[in-house]
């Protein structure tokens, strides 16, 4: 069988290429395109034989696209115009220009690709750019399905809810196609969950609390979950550490969901020198209440963004390495303490950032995937924060090509 000719647009560090490999598809990336010099260096480091076009997508002519004669497009367009917390410039944001250019080129190609996969942030599904994409695909004769998925669907303890679209040309609809719907789980997941529930049913009655909701839905607080000591508190009440009862319950549920792996499976060797990753006193004192603190035995972590290690708030979880220290005992009445005592208490948790390697592990990059030596830790965080979960995309590629 001839190898599938794949065009990787907005290639970054090559998350899509890695996913293609992980899916064991017989394929060749005929061109990867990105303007970011540093991301391109990382890409070349890991995929040295792939032709890398360090230019803007809108600078590629129709003829150049035609010459590549590709069968598949894999792409992650810039997400800033669609993020829920951003300005949501959508199609009027200049960063969407290259995507609109692709939509304009697509119907005019000499040979349409047979397959297409797109990744973007949650928020893209309600954008005009997405409506234009669907319209273009329908005009060209593609069958497509949209998803909102997080790595937790695959038992990975990391939330990274993303929009995905898979499309194939002139073929039977997907067996799982649900017109007008965005699927929030993998097509085979219902059957898998049912099987799991049956097994748990027989062996462990406590398992009943893992309802038919996906982990991400539980994550979003859609499940009331098992009993927890905080239940008598009024809805929305704040506990220690600026957390509501609902947040506490959600974390509690996820940490007890044995279908998700523990974070310790993704961590680096304990004997490695981690001194550079510990949170400095200034950050501890200023942001302690806003940190999402997890232990190695936890089965969850928040989405690691490109600001991780630079901004503290909302950019990703931090790891409590002093595992025997009780979080509650540290935070209780901490506000009443003078600063030096506060710092002693907070330091006892031994909080550190996840290393770039650990984030790469959570994102599904294999151990052989690396960064050139000159790339700094902060740059690694930035590039990984822009990238994707390889295992989620690999599974979608398999589903698309089934
Ligand atoms: C969301 S990131 C994609 C990350 C990639 N999937 C990965 O695994 O690293 C978007 C990428 O698009 C690139 N980009 C943005 N606008 C572009 C354009 N007009 N032409 C080419 N690349 C562009 C950025 O440099 C960035 O690396």
pLDDT by residue (tens digit) across 358-368? 999 999 999 99
82-91, 131-140, 329-338, 366-375: least confident range:
82-91
For residue 27, what is the domain's CATH number? Answer: 3.40.50.150
Q: Distance, CA 75 to ligand 1 centroid (Å)?
A: 9
The verdict on 242 and 106 lying in the same domain is no
Reply yes or no on whether the pLDDT at 1 is more than 60.
yes
Reply yes or no on whether the pLDDT at 126 is more than 90.
yes
Q: Phi and psi dihedrals of 327, rounded to 5? A: -55, -45
The verdict on 173 and 236 lying in the same domain is no
Query: Inter-axis angle of helices 377-386 and 37-46, to 10 degrees?
Result: 90
82-91, 101-110, 115-124: least confident range:
82-91
Q: Indicate which atom in ligand 1 lies nearest the CA of residue 388.
A: 8
Q: What is the pLDDT of residue 115?
A: 98
Ligand 1: list residues with CB < 6 Å: 10-16, 33-36, 39, 56-58, 76, 78-79, 98, 386-388
| Interatomic CA distance for residues 353 and 269, integer angstroms | 15
Q: Indicate which atom in ligand 1 lies nearest the CA of residue 39.
A: 27
The verdict on 168 and 35 lying in the same domain is yes
Helix (H, G, I), strand (E, B) or coil at 117: strand
The verdict on 127 and 235 lying in the same domain is no
| Interatomic CA distance for residues 204 and 199, integer angstroms | 8
The verdict on 110 and 235 lying in the same domain is no
The verdict on 29 and 162 lying in the same domain is yes
Q: Tell the residue nearest (CA) to atom 25 of ligand 1.
A: 36
Domain end: 256, 282, 310, which one?
Answer: 256
Q: Which of 6, 7, 8, 10 to mutate to test the pocket of ligand 1 (most atoms within 8 A of CB)?
A: 10
Helix (H, G, I), strand (E, B) or coil at 95: helix
- Which pLDDT band, with edges at 50, 70 and 90, does 226 fall under? very low
Reply yes or no on whether the pLDDT at 72 is more than 80.
yes
The verdict on 80 and 173 lying in the same domain is yes
353 within domain boundaries: no
Mean pLDDT calculated for residue range 130-156? 97
The verdict on 109 and 170 lying in the same domain is yes
Output the furthest CA–CA distance in the chain (Å, rounded). 71
Q: Distance, CA 33 to ligand 1 centroid (Å)?
A: 8
Residue 79 falls in the annotated catalytic set: yes
Q: What is the pLDDT of residue 253?
A: 79
Is the ipTM higher than 0.95? The answer is: yes
Q: Which of 33, 34, 75 to mutate to test the pocket of ligand 1 (most atoms within 8 A of CB)?
A: 34
| Interatomic CA distance for residues 91 and 103, integer angstroms | 12
Task: Determine contact, residues 300/266, Cβ cutoff 8 Å.
Answer: no
Count of positions (residues) in the chain = 402
- Which pLDDT band, with edges at 50, 70 and 90, does 219 fall under? very low
Reply yes or no on whether the pLDDT at 299 is more than 90.
yes
Domain end: 226, 256, 286, which one?
Answer: 256
Residue 314, exposed/middle/buried by CB under 10 A (0-12, 13-18, 19+)? middle
Instruction: Answer with the residue of higher pLDDT: 311 or 316.
Output: 316
Say how many domains are in the chain: 2
135 within domain boundaries: yes
| Interatomic CA distance for residues 30 and 17, integer angstroms | 11
The verdict on 178 and 231 lying in the same domain is no
Pairing type for strands 351-353 and 293-294 reads unpaired
97 within domain boundaries: yes
Mean pLDDT calculated for residue range 118-124? 96
Q: Indicate which atom in ligand 1 lies nearest the CA of residue 95.
A: 16
Which structural domain range is residue 249 located in?
214-256
Strand-pair partners of 249: none
Q: Give the angle 45-388-382 at the CA atoms, nearest 5°.
A: 65
Task: Determine contact, residues 369/360, Cβ cutoff 8 Å.
Answer: yes
- Which pLDDT band, with edges at 50, 70 and 90, does 71 fall under? very high
Reply yes or no on whether the pLDDT at 263 is more than 70.
yes
118 within domain boundaries: yes
341 within domain boundaries: no
Q: What is the pLDDT of residue 301?
A: 97
Q: Indicate which atom in ligand 1 lies nearest the CA of residue 75.
A: 6
The verdict on 46 and 176 lying in the same domain is yes
The verdict on 176 and 227 lying in the same domain is no
351 within domain boundaries: no
194 within domain boundaries: no
24 within domain boundaries: yes
Q: Distance, CA 120 to ligand 1 centroid (Å)?
A: 11
Sequence-ordered list of residues with C-beta below 8 angstroms from that of 375, at least 6 positions apart, any chain = 38, 41, 42, 383
- Which pLDDT band, with edges at 50, 70 and 90, does 170 fall under? confident
The verdict on 178 and 226 lying in the same domain is no
């Amino acid at each position: 069988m001839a190898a599938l000719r794949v065009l990787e647009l907005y290639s970054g560090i090559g998350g899509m290429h890695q996913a293609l490999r992980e899916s064991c598809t017989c394929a060749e990336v005929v061109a990867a395109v990105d303007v970011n010099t540093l991301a391109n260096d990382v890409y070349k480091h890991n995929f040295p034989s792939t032709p890398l076009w360090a230019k803007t997508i809108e600078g590629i002519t129709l003829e150049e696209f035609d010459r590549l004669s590709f069968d598949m497009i894999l792409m992650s367009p810039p997400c800033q115009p669609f993020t829920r917390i951003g300005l949501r410039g959508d199609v009027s944001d200049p960063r969407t220009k290259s995507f609109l250019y692709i939509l304009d080129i697509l119907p005019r190609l000499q040979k349409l690709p047979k397959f297409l996969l797109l990744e973007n942030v949650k928020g893209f599904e309600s954008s005009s750019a997405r409506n234009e994409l669907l319209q273009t695909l329908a005009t060209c004769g593609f069958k497509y399905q949209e998803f909102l998925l997080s790595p937790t669907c695959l038992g990975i303890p990391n939330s990274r809810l993303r929009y995905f679209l898979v499309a194939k040309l002139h073929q039977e609809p997907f067996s799982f196609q649900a017109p007008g719907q965005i699927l929030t789980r993998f097509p085979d997941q219902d059957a898998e969950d049912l099987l799991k529930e049956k097994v748990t049913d027989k062996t462990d009655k406590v398992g009943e609390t893992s309802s038919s909701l996906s982990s991400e839905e539980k994550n979003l607080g859609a499940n009331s979950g098992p009993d927890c000591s905080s239940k008598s508190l009024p809805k929305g009440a704040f506990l220690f550490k600026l957390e509501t009862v609902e947040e506490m319950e959600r974390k509690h549920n996820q940490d007890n969901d044995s279908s998700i792996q523990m974070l310790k499976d993704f961590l680096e060797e304990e004997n490695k020198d981690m001194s550079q990753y510990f949170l400095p006193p200034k950050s501890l004192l200023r942001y302690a209440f806003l940190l999402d603190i997890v232990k190695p035995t936890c089965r969850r972590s928040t989405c690691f963004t490109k600001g991780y290690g630079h901004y503290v708030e909302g950019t990703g979880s931090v790891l409590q390495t002093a595992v025997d220290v009780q979080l509650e005992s540290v935070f209780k009445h901490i506000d009443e303490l003078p600063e030096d005592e506060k710092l002693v208490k907070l330091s006892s948790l031994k909080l550190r950032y996840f290393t770039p390697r650990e984030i790469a592990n959570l994102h599904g990059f294999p151990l052989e995937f690396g960064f050139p030596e000159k790339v700094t830790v902060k740059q690694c965080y930035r590039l990984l924060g822009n990238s994707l979960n390889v295992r989620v995309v690999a599974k979608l590629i398999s589903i698309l090509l089934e």
